[in-house]
Structures are given as C-alpha cells and as structure tokens.
Amino acid sequence: MDIKNEVLYRVYFLLFGIIIPLSLILLYRTIYISVWEGDDWRAVGEDNYVKYKEVEADRGNIFSEDGSVLATSIPYFDIYFDPVAPTDKDFEENLDSLAYCLATFIDPSYTVGGYRDRLIRLRQDSTDRHVLIKRKVSYSEKRKIESYPLFNLGQFRGGFIAERRSDRRRPFGLLAQRTIGYVRDGAKDVGLEGYFNDYLGGEPGGQFMICVDTRRDLWMPLDDLSAIDPKSGDDVHTTIDVNLQDIVENALLRAMNYHKADWGTAIMMDVETGAVRSIANLGKYSDTYWETYNHAVGSGVEPGSTFKTASMLALLEDGHVNLTDTVFINKGIGNFYEETMRDASSESYTLDTVSARRAFEISSNVGIAKLVNKHYGVPTEANQEKAAGQFIERLKSFNLHLPTEIEIAGEASPFIKEAYNSDDQWSGTTLPWMSIGYELKISPLQLLTFYNAIANDGRMMKPYLVDRIERYGETIEQFKPTVIKRKLASDESVNQMQSLLRGVVDSGTAVKLATPEYDFAGKTGTAQINYTRISDRTLIGGYQASFAGYFPADDPKYSVIVVINNPREHGFYGGDVAGPVFREIADRTMATRIDLHQALNTQPKPLLTENQLPGFDVGAPEDMTKVLTYLDLTLDGVVGTDLAMIRPSSDTLKLYERNIPEGRVPAVTGMGLREALFVLENLGLKVEVDGYGKVTRQSIKPGTPVRGQTIRLYLRL
C-alpha cells in the first residue's frame, strides 16, 4: 500500500504541479498571441510568407505565309533595388560609385550627392525592399545597369532585381488585327492568338518567391536554386499573305469611307487549297473604321442575291431546269400568297418572259423564285412538304448548313429552315424568299467556301488560316489542305454554273465591272436588312451589298467575297458598292502576281511575215548564219564570197552574194562597222565614223573611183 500511495503522490504532483500549470500557461499564451498580438503577428507573416509562383514563358510568334512577323513578343525589364540585401561592407564600398552611375545615366534629376543620400535613407528605412530604379528597359540597357558597382554582385548580395516583362507587338500595325486576335486577362480570347493559345503560350516555369510588400503585391525570388525555367511558346505560321492582305484591307477601307457603311468584310481564298490569303473586317467606331469584330466568320446574315447561285445549282443538279427554259417574270413583279416580290433590275421592267440563264444574269428575284417554287413547292398538299424538303436537302448537300470550322473562335452557325417546320416559322412564302437569299442565315466565309468549290470545278476545300506550327524552327504539326467534298455537284452542273457566273460579268448585273485585261466571274447581291413585311409592303431599314466570285475565270486562282452592310451614300446595290471592291482587289492582285499571267513563251511561236524579218543586211556569211541560227530563223542559200546579203522572201530569209567592185567606192549601206572597215580600208580608203550601229549613209557616192580619199560613214541603230 505504501508503494502504491507513493506512486499516486508522484502522479498527482506531475499532473497538478507541472502538466496542468504548463497547459494553462500555453493556453494563456495562445489566446494572448492570437487575440491581443494577433494583428501584429499576422502583419509580419503577410510581409514575409513564401509562395511558389508561376513564371510566364515567352510567347511564340505568328508569321505570315512569306515569313513576315505578324505578332511577336518584345521583352523588357523593370529594374528594382533591394537596399537591405547587401552587407554593410559591400554597401559602403560601392555606395559612391553606384550613386554616380545612377545619377549620371539613370535619373539626372538627382545630383550624385543627392542620389547617395537617397540610397542611405532607403537602407536605413529598410521597409521597402523593392525600390524602382527604371521601368521598361531593353535587354542591352539591363545588361549595362547590372554591371554597375554593387549591382554587379547579383540579386542576393548586391540587391539588383530585374523583373522581366513582355509586350505583344504587331509590326504591321492594324493589318489583320482581328484575325490575329489577342489573349487578355478577364476578356474572351480572340482570333489566332486565342485559338492557338496552348501552342503560343508555351509552358510556364516557377520559382519560390517571398512577399516583400502585401499592399502592392510585390514579390522577390527566394533563391536561384528553386527556379524552373519556362519553355518558350511555339511559332504559328499562317496562310495570310501580307501583300494581299494590304490590298484587300485598303480596297475595303476606301469603299467604307466612300459609302459611309456600318461594317464591311472581304475575304480572299486560294481556290485550289482553301488557304485564306487575306481576311479584312471593318466596323464603324466613332468617326473612323477599325477591326472591332470578325464579321467574316462571326456574322450570320441573310445573303440576298448571292444565294441565287445555290438555288440555281440545285435546280440544275436535280434536273429541273435547262438554261434555255423560259420563265414568266411579269415585268419584274410576282405574287406568292399574300406577298409581292419585285425585281431590282431595270431590264426586268420591260420583259414578260426570260430564259433561266437570263433570269440569273440579271438577278431576277421573280424569275429565280418562280423556278424554285414551281419545282420544289408543288401545290399538292401530300407532296408539298416532300418537294420542299428535297430543296433543303440539296442545299445541305452543298454543305451550306455546316460551319467551316476555321481556326477562329466564334464562328456563326448557318441557319437553314427545315421544310414546314413550325419551330422554324416556315410559311407559304418561305421557299420563294429562301431561293433569293432570305429567311436563312450564313456567314460570308461559309458562302465563299461554296463559291470557291464552283471555281475549283466542284471540289470543296476547307478554309484554313494556319499552315504549320514550329518549335525552334522544326515543324511539329502541319495543316494540309482538306477536301470537304470531292464533288459538290456533277461536272455538267458545275460547268453550267461557271458559265452563268461569267455571264453575270459579261452581260448581266456586273457588266460595268468587266475589264479587257482579264476575265473574272461572280454574282452581285443586294439584300434588305432590318425589314418588316406588312401585307404587300416592306418597310426597309437599309441594304447589304455583296459580291462573290473568282479570277481569272479560265484558270481560277483566288476566290473573293465582299460584303458591305448598310451603305448610306453613293448607292446600295451590290454591283455599285461591293463589286468595285472586288474589281480593285482583282486588279491589284493581277498587277502584282506574275504567276497569274501566262508566260509568253508557252505559246507556239508565230511565223514572221516579210515585213517582220531582217532584210538587206550585209556581213560575213559565217557570222550571219551563226546569229540567225541562234535566233532560230531559217536561212536559205550558200555563197562563196567574203560578204553576203540577206533578203526576206515571203516568210523565209535568203542569202545572196555581195561582190565588191575593184577600183571604185562600194555601197556599204546596211553593213556593220566591222564589215565596212574591212571593205573600204582594203581599197585604200581612209574612214571616219559618226555614230554607232549600222551604216545608214556614206559621204562618197558608190561607183566613185578610188584615189585614197577619206570617206565618212554615218551609223545609226
């Protein structure tokens, strides 16, 4: 019992004498530190806590087709000083020299003594360990500053801090601004910068950083050993041609300013591959125009008459129409249920009946609508839905209901109504109005893809903006031309459609745009916008002018669409507003692209006529034979004299002997100087020469006896 009590006494002593008092003391200190001293300790912690922070990588470049830089990141540095980092010895030994360098080269507003005093105050204060020295210095300037006394000891011994930043630059300014796009914090990613951000952004690095000022959220690297270097972003090579982009943008801008339109877009595509060579978007901003939105890709609009090409191709492909078939247009007025449709062409007002070809060429709304309504909107109720559905299915076979999936976010989805679908608000007038480009929506790029397929003999290509992605000069991903549809329609239908589009330019609504320099094909379009139909009247809020086509017509290289929304001055028809933009783009492209012109030596050489051949030239037979053989000219005849003369006969050159009379001055007209000197000096004559080329005149008449005279020869080319 005594031993047991002794053990209990000891346990009680430990419990009440040591453990409980110690626990109470710890509890008191915990409460005291967290409550009474909490704010002070939290402030200390916030000013000195360490965090692993991400280090931004260098962003990749965006290049044009020819390697020109469209977007790049320019590095710069913000220079700071940590006045607490150096030891007293290092600080004192380098103070005067550092003050001299900073006052002389960085901030001349200070004297050397004044900057010295500032450095001393900063070190004594010790609350600011992130003192700004200079912002936005170049790499070469940063290297110079870090060589200053004390700074050359590095960050942890000398207090030198260089924070790297980068500024995204576009060397070509606003060229293709919206297409190139941007990536910004708090904003939606735009254009190629946004779509390829995973490639361009690279892989960020990281480093342990210590917070030196919570109020300004300032951090300093903790040490070099914890740093993980970021990996630079990859380079994106686009299909954009900067020269063509400049042509397209300037042509569009001139038209926008001239017509005072709301917005406009123009796209140029390579017919064979689908590569987008230029894409311009301009919208009104204050009193000028900027690329504020990518209408080419993101705006689904009612295209108007440019959609008639799809309607006509559907009629041809389904075998409903021959181009010689006639349609009653009633002087450009047609009634469909309670609605009245009118033509815009002045030619329609004088005609009752036209051929299907002519209805398309003059862009007759009534003509195209009646043809579509006749063959797809049959009056029998049981078959009506099925027939209209065939038209919709034919449009879908042209891929007009699908987006292009180009490498830019925000592409508008096409909208084509389903036949007799109440959710789509299908009515009796939907089919005729749809046939002329209303009651449906499609983006300019999607419509151009359709026109490009017609130019490409029915082969539909996917439009694309990026050719490849490179990492340190090595291709890591290649984007090749993609065929969406090998056959848009039969060869016969496509050929007929090509003929119709040429007819629009040769004798239709675009005849004013034709040029003798080259052939092109296309379709004008004029659509009403913001309209309201009331009975047989239509309240119009404006117009949209467009032109879609390709050039050269015989061997298409480029397809182009131009859309200008709500022009307010100098006309509103597609042929007057958008057509001239297309023509300017085509003109300047043809003038600057030698590959668009046929080489002169590809054609068989024409036979030269007598007046085109050289004649009455005199010279050594072997020399004349050598020259004419080099020129691939046939020469007939053989002579045995030192000199010979060539004479044209029909389309052939013949060689004749040229005899020199003895003792008399010969006629040397037509000879070169070498032959004339040979002949005259051998006869003992002295020769003076005036000019260069062939002998055209001589001072002594031929046949004059030779007595050692001086003869003057006059030469001309």
Look at residue 445 and tell me if it is in a domain.
yes
Look at residue 44 and tell me if it is in a domain.
no
Question: What are the structure tokens assigned to 40, written together?
Answer: 């002070």
Q: How far apart are CA 487 and CA 357, in angstroms?
A: 23
Q: How far apart are CA 40 and CA 42, in angstroms?
A: 5
- Do 106 and 206 belong to one domain? yes
Look at residue 605 and tell me if it is in a domain.
no
Would strands 652-657 and 635-636 be described as parallel, antiparallel, or unpaired?
A: parallel
Last residue of a domain, one of 536, 565, 596: 596
- Do 145 and 275 belong to one domain? no
Q: Is the pLDDT of residue 613 over 80?
A: no
Last residue of a domain, one of 596, 627, 656: 596
Considering only 4-18, 555-569, 671-685, which range has the smallest mean pLDDT? Answer: 4-18
Calculate helix-pair angle for 112-125, 88-101, nearest 10 degrees.
140
Q: Is the pLDDT of residue 608 over 60?
A: no
Q: Are 687 and 676 in contact (CB under 8 A)?
A: yes
Look at residue 47 and tell me if it is in a domain.
no
Would strands 543-551 and 235-238 be described as parallel, antiparallel, or unpaired?
A: unpaired
Q: Is the pLDDT of residue 54 over 60?
A: yes
- Do 490 and 576 belong to one domain? yes
Per-residue HEC secondary structure of 371-432 comes to HHHHHHCCCCHHHHHHHHHHHHHHHHHCCCCCCCCCCCCCCCCCEECCCCCHHHCCCCCHHH
When divided into structural domains, the chain yields a total of: 4
Q: Is the pLDDT of residue 49 over 70?
A: no
- Do 381 and 437 belong to one domain? yes
Average pLDDT over residues 259-286: 94
Q: How far apart are CA 484 and CA 459, in angstroms?
A: 8
Is pLDDT larger for residue 74 or for residue 150? 150
- Do 515 and 645 belong to one domain? no
pTM exceeds 0.85 = no
Q: What is the pLDDT of residues 482-538, one digit of tens each?
A: 999 999 999 999 999 999 999 999 999 999 999 999 999 999 999 988 776 555 555
Look at residue 601 and tell me if it is in a domain.
no
- Do 335 and 470 belong to one domain? yes
In Å, what is the CA distance from 180 to each residue of 63, 134, 198, 404, 480?
10, 32, 15, 18, 20
Q: How far apart are CA 659 and CA 642, in angstroms?
A: 8
- Do 210 and 278 belong to one domain? no
Last residue of a domain, one of 574, 596, 618: 596
Closest CA to 548 of 412, 395, 435, 442: 442
> What distance lies between CA 215 and its chain's CA centroid?
45
Which amino acid does the sequence have at 118? R
- Do 552 and 620 belong to one domain? no
- Do 414 and 508 belong to one domain? yes
Specify the pLDDT at position 643: 78
Q: Are 261 and 246 in contact (CB under 8 A)?
A: no
- Do 12 and 153 belong to one domain? no
- Do 301 and 427 belong to one domain? yes
Look at residue 184 and tell me if it is in a domain.
yes
The CATH number for 579's domain is 3.40.710.10
Look at residue 633 and tell me if it is in a domain.
yes
Both ends of the chain: CA-CA distance in Å?
146
Q: Is 710 helix (H, G, I), strand (E, B) or coil?
A: strand
Which stretches within 456-533 are classed as H helix?
491-507
What confidence tier does 277 reach under pLDDT thresholds 50, 70, 90?
very high
Look at residue 653 and tell me if it is in a domain.
yes
- Do 217 and 315 belong to one domain? no
As beta bridge partners, residue 450 has none
Closest CA to 445 of 274, 236, 627, 198: 274
Boundaries of domain holding 522: 245-596
The CATH number for 230's domain is 3.90.1310.10
